[in-house]
Amino acid sequence: MNVRTVEIIGKSEAELEKISEEFSLGLSISEMVQLRRYFTSLNRNPRDIELQAMAQAWSEHCCYKSSKIHLKRYLSGLPKKDVVLAMEDDAGVLSMGNGYVYVVKMESHNHPSAVEPYGGAATGVGGIIRDILCMGAQPVALVDSLSFGDPEGPKNGPLSQRFLASRIVAGIRDYGNRLGIPTVAGSIDFDSSYNHNPLVNAGCVGIAREDSIVRSRVSDVGDLLILAGGRTGRDGIHGVTFASRRLTADQEENRRAVQLGNPIVEEPLIHAILEMVSHHLVDAMKDLGGGGLSSSVGEMCYAGGTGAIIDLDNVILKEEDMAPWEIWISESQERMLLAVKEENLQRIREIFESWDVEFSVIGRVVEGSNLRIRYRGTEIFNLDLPFLTSGPVYSRLYLLPKTPEREEVFSPEPENYNEFLLRALASPYLASRAPVVRQYDFTVRGNTVRKPFNGLSGEQTHSDAAVIKPIEGLDIGLGITSDSNSQIVAADPYRGTLHLLGEAYRNLISSGVRPHSLVDCLNFGDPEDPVVMGQFAESLRATGEFCNFFNMPVTAGNVSLYNGSGDTQIKPSPVFMMIGLVPDVKKVNKTAFQGEHHSIFLLGNDSTSMVGSIYHKLMNVEGGTIEDADLDELRKLGDAILDVTPRGLILSIHDISQGGLVGALCEMAFGNNVGFHVELDKVAGARPSIKLFSELGNRFIVEVDPSREEEFLEHFRGLKVTRLGSTGGDRAIIEDCSVRLIDIGITELSNVWNHGLDRII
């Protein structure tokens, strides 16, 4: 019958280790010993399907065994403003007023994308959409934060860095575009630490009525369990145990974890499920991701305090000869698990049939805490859910990073500032993201008010954040940004994370949107390395502190560990997706200079820190300490900017981040092809390179109509405001103490900026 009993009772530790290897369980010796103890107490040996289920549930990916202790310590007592559900179900749910909620989640799909970039990235998008859908929400926007290897770096196995980057982008494009959900924001990072392990973090936002939210837990005994959508096949077996260890060069082993994704199956599934939700036909719902049925059924029942009986024969298969354990842990895509009342089955059948979606009733919710599986008339699985699902928790050794009191590093000045600026703008770190973002449909659904680009058609520049208007008839908007910056987090995990969160905050503020909630996607290296765990703990400490300071909830998140290959670990790479609210989408800010002869001001205290900057990266300078983040100033500046935005006093605004002051000025100039002439005499910094290229601090560049200057200065009284110069002409002119540092035509600059990624994507 294709079910094997595996003898573990009485086996030695060495033999247990061998069993873990033979069945690709990925369990450690101590975990195998716990299993031996459990089955010894039951007085029977496990069957292969039971062992495989344990391996899924106890994998790092599913039970967060290394990270839980830190997540609890730093994120459990956070503010709950407007929170409907945070850190409970598959996605976070927040109230946005008028009876509506937005649903948000971000997840990594790093390991699959390293092996098969197109399918890995595509299924990452498909999976995050189902996380939103399973809360009963209509997905309305996607974001993607990507980290690629050094474009000139060595191949990752058989795949060139260029192949990896362009196929990852293609996977995101094809899945999102085919489903008709706009990809509106994101970030792209390049660093050699990602050469063998690119990062693909996909996020999704959905909208629902608060009263139609569906939970991921089932507490109604007697409910039927339905599996709907794609068929179950051998694809993606052992995906989670694969994601819970470092990548290997074994192609044969990797292949089993590969899937391409099928948006044509997911699209009607979304319609069918939303129709059922609108008729209140679904009691609980969960998408099938890592661990397949094993994880979904187990977690859904365990959370609701019920048990279940499953008939495995009823699962619709792609291939007839699958073993029961393969069916149970398959990670085939586009599948959803629903718990429904028997009396609603007929209507559910009609809806699925009208959308041409396959489904089957695979089991029933029962009293108790046991999960039982029947197959061809025999019971082949009977485990206690609290034991199966709770998983071990580790307090791994962690080594806090040593931060020296103050370490100054000095970099040389460029010989020619014009040439260096051209080089920086053409570098992959700063270059226009258009060759990537233009592949994504960011306006489908017709809700994208502030697009990823703004300015004249053909000349456009980056926006700081996207703004969508998700609800018909209401002017309320959602601002969305997603940011990463492994350079500064690597330099100092604690301070760097605060600066990175500040950057996400500033992106929303400069768009005119009030920051509201946060989702984290934490990508780190091997948790068994104390240095990595130290980075993780420090980064979380910063996140907790930031959110407490700004009264901002963390509503959902994802931890991805074991990112690295061989002896190389990725740089610590937390990715943050921040969502903001704006009462009237018509009153948001622009990035591009709006006209000539307008005044340019710099808001915010000076920053002279160059650590983690693109300038240092291009000059090959490493080390140094990062200055503290000034959250108090950020709050005051943010409030002042948001207060004044509806009055139209700010013609355009851009925060200073990667590329520094000169990078920000150039991006503002590119949008409408309007030049500028500024003087840096009053900007702090011992050297021109610091004035031009330092990236930290809470700084914004603002364009103001000269006739309203007084009103502007009055409004920002008490905050640091520095006059830089004015807009106009067709050149970028920057002077410092009467020395002309930069003098280049805007079109010459925008030309290299626009084509910087051409050779990579």
Quote the tokens at residue 282: 């679904």
Q: Is 173 one of the binding residues for other proteins (CB under 8 A)?
A: no
Binding residue (CB under 8 A) for other proteins from 50, 107, 144, 235: 235
Distance CA 567, CA 221 (A): 50
Please identify which residue in 3, 159, 474, 531 interacts with other proteins, judged by CB under 8 A: 159
Comparing CA positions, the residue from 168, 162, 160, 167 lying closest to residue 144 is 168
For residues 39 and 8, is the Cβ–Cβ distance under 8 A? yes
With respect to other proteins, which residue has the nearer C-beta, 130 or 167?
Answer: 167
259 interacts with other proteins by CB under 8 A: yes
Does 700 contact other proteins by CB under 8 A? no
Residues 597, 726 contacting (CB under 8 angstroms) = yes
Query: Which residues from 378-407 bind other proteins, rule CB under 8 A?
Result: none
CB 574 within 8 A of CB 504: no
Out of 110, 113, 177, 262, the residue judged to bind other proteins by CB under 8 A = 262
Q: Select from 154-162, 389-397, 561-569, 713-721 the region that touches other proteins (CB under 8 A).
A: 154-162
Nearer to other proteins, 262 or 389 (CB): 262
Residue from 5, 30, 251, 551 in contact with other proteins (CB under 8 A): 251
Site for other proteins in 82-111 (CB under 8 A): none
* Residue of the chain from 12, 14, 22, 158 that contacts other proteins (CB under 8 A): 158
What span, in angstroms and rounded, lies between the C-alpha atoms of 179 and 228?
A: 18
- 283, 577, 587 from 520: Cα distances, Å: 28, 6, 28
Query: 379: burial class by Cβ within 10 Å (0-12, 13-18, 19+)?
Result: exposed
The interface region with other proteins, picked from 204-212, 253-261, 294-302, 728-736 by CB under 8 A, is 253-261
Contact between 759 and other proteins by CB under 8 A: the answer reads: no
Selected binder of other proteins within 234, 271, 617, 687 (CB under 8 A): 234
The count of C-alpha atoms lying within 13 angstroms of the C-alpha of 630, restricted to the half-sphere facing its C-beta, is 15
Instruction: Please say which residue, 251 or 548, places its beta carbon nearer to other proteins.
Output: 251
Q: Is 677 annotated as catalytic?
A: no
- State the burial class of residue 15 (Cβ atoms within 10 Å of its Cβ: 0-12, 13-18, 19+): middle
Instruction: Name the one range near other proteins by CB under 8 A: 155-163, 198-206, 394-402, 563-571.
Output: 155-163
Asked if 149 is part of the footprint of other proteins (rule: CB under 8 A), the reply reads no
CB 112 to other proteins: min, Å: 10
The minimum distance between CB 165 and other proteins, in angstroms, equals 13
Is residue 608 within 8 Å of residue 685, measured between CB atoms?
yes
Closest C-alpha among 459, 404, 348, 401 to residue 753: 459
Nearest-angstrom CA–CA distance, 122 and 589: 32
- Which member of 61, 111, 462, 654 is catalytic? 61
C-alpha separations of 544 from 76, 397, 551, 567 in Å: 9, 21, 10, 30
Location of structure tokens 């009284």 = 717
Q: Which CB atom, from 233 or from 534, has the smaller least distance to other proteins?
A: 233
Separate counts of helices (H) and strands (E) for the chain? 26, 30
- The site map against other proteins for 111-140 (x = CB under 8 A) is ----xxxxx---------------------
Helix/strand/coil for 522 = strand
Q: Which is nearer to other proteins, 45 or 113 (CB)?
A: 113
Nearer to other proteins, 330 or 344 (CB): 330
Rule CB under 8 A: choose which of 18, 44, 255, 759 binds other proteins: 255
Eight-state DSSP code of residue 313: G
Q: Which is nearer to other proteins, 159 or 221 (CB)?
A: 159
What's the CA gap between 264 and 262, in Å, rounded? 5
What is the footprint of other proteins within residues 639-678 (CB under 8 A)? none
Neighbours of 694 (CB within 10 A): 24
Coil/strand/helix, residue 564: strand
- In 3D space, the residue among 87, 551, 137, 53 whose CA is nearest the CA of residue 327 turns out to be 53
- Restricting to residues 482-521, which ones interact with other proteins according to CB under 8 A? none
How far, in whole angstroms, is CA 300 from its chain's centroid?
24
Per CB under 8 A, the list member of 167, 173, 469, 516 interacting with other proteins is: 167
Structure tokens at 432: 């226009």
Give catalytic status of residue 111 as yes or no: no
Q: Map the footprint of other proteins across residues 283-302, applying CB under 8 A.
A: none
Q: How far is CA 471 from the centre of its chain?
A: 24
**Single residue of 261, 363, 479, 659 touching other proteins by CB under 8 A:** 261
- Which listed residue (2, 24, 28, 160) binds other proteins by CB under 8 A? 160
Contact region with other proteins (CB under 8 A), list: 66-74, 258-266, 643-651, 721-729:
258-266
| Contact window for other proteins (CB under 8 A) among 78-86, 152-160, 649-657, 742-750 | 152-160
Q: Which is nearer to other proteins, 259 or 370 (CB)?
A: 259
Which residue in 221, 258, 309, 476 binds other proteins (CB under 8 A)? 258
d(CA 373, CA 294): 11
Q: How far is the CB of 317 from other proteins (least distance, A)?
A: 13
The answer to whether 660 and 694 have CB atoms below 8 angstroms apart is yes
Phi, psi of 497 (to 5 degrees): -65, -40
Integer angstrom CA distances of residue 274 from 5, 84, 538? 42, 20, 40
Amino acid in position 410: F
Distance (Å, whole) CA 223 – CA 214? 15
The residue annotated as part of the active site, out of 109, 111, 462, 499, is 109
Residue closer to other proteins, measured from CB, 116 or 703:
116
Residue with Cβ nearer other proteins (100 or 163): 163
Helix (H, G, I), strand (E, B) or coil at 353: helix
CB of residue 158 to other proteins, shortest distance in Å: 5
Dist. CA 147–CA 150, nearest whole Å: 10
- Cβ 510 vs Cβ 467: under 8 Å: no
Write down the least CB distance from residue 529 to other proteins, Å: 27
List the Cα angle 238/240/243 in 5-degree steps.
Answer: 110
Among 26, 198, 233, 479, binds other proteins (CB under 8 A): 233
In sequence order, the 6+-apart residues with CB closer than 8 A to the CB of 620 are none
| In the complex, minimum distance from the CB of residue 267 to other proteins, in angstroms, rounded to a whole number | 11
CB nearer to other proteins: give 104 or 265.
265
Q: Please identify which residue in the block is written with the tokens 């998408």.
A: 287
Q: Is the separation of the CB atoms in 253 and 388 below 8 Å?
A: no
Number of residues engaging other proteins in binding (CB under 8 A): 25
Least Cβ distance, residue 232 to other proteins (angstroms): 12
Q: Please identify every residue annotated as catalytic.
A: 61, 109
Q: Rule CB under 8 A: which residues touch other proteins?
A: 115-119, 158-160, 163, 167, 233-235, 251, 254-255, 258-265, 318
